[in-house]
Amino acid sequence: MPQVVFFRENDGSVPMLEWIVLLPEGARDRCKARIERLRTFGHLLRRPKADFLRDGIHELRVKHEGVNYRLLYFFFGRDAVVLTQGFVKRQARVPASELERALRRRVVFTSDPERHMHAEA
């Protein structure tokens, strides 16, 4: 079972956690449940719950009351999953800006994992 951690910016902010607390309660609960499935199944989690996007970036897929939520993540070795950010998906494809942000965060994280890792207690 992989450890699930959150990407932390240089300023100490944790984008995924800041985003998730702003969601409606039902959506927030579904996102948290999906994160738990990721913690349980790791690399084995597949569509429709998760999908590979490109260049090592994956998405958790959550739908609540007709709204599509996406949580982007990558694997760090075999033992950790790093959640980078979440967003509301309003178009057929994941916006390039969100994918590029996740890719940049992966580079930053891998350069100094200890500094950019936030683990929930």
CATH code of residue 74: 3.30.2310.20
Q: Supply the pLDDT for residue 119.
A: 84
Burial class (CB in 10 A: 0-12, 13-18, 19+), 111: exposed
Per-residue pLDDT tens for 24-34?
A: 999 999 999 99
pLDDT level of residue 1 (50, 70, 90 thresholds): confident
In angstroms, how far is CA 49 from the centroid of its own chain? 12
Question: How many folded domains does the chain comprise?
Answer: 1
Per-residue pLDDT tens for 74-93?
A: 999 888 999 999 999 998 89
Per-residue pLDDT tens for 24-64?
A: 999 999 999 999 999 999 999 999 999 999 999 999 999 99
Q: Which residues pair with 34 in a beta bridge?
A: none
Note down the domain range covering 42.
Answer: 3-118
State pTM to two decimals.
0.95
pLDDT level of residue 121 (50, 70, 90 thresholds): very low
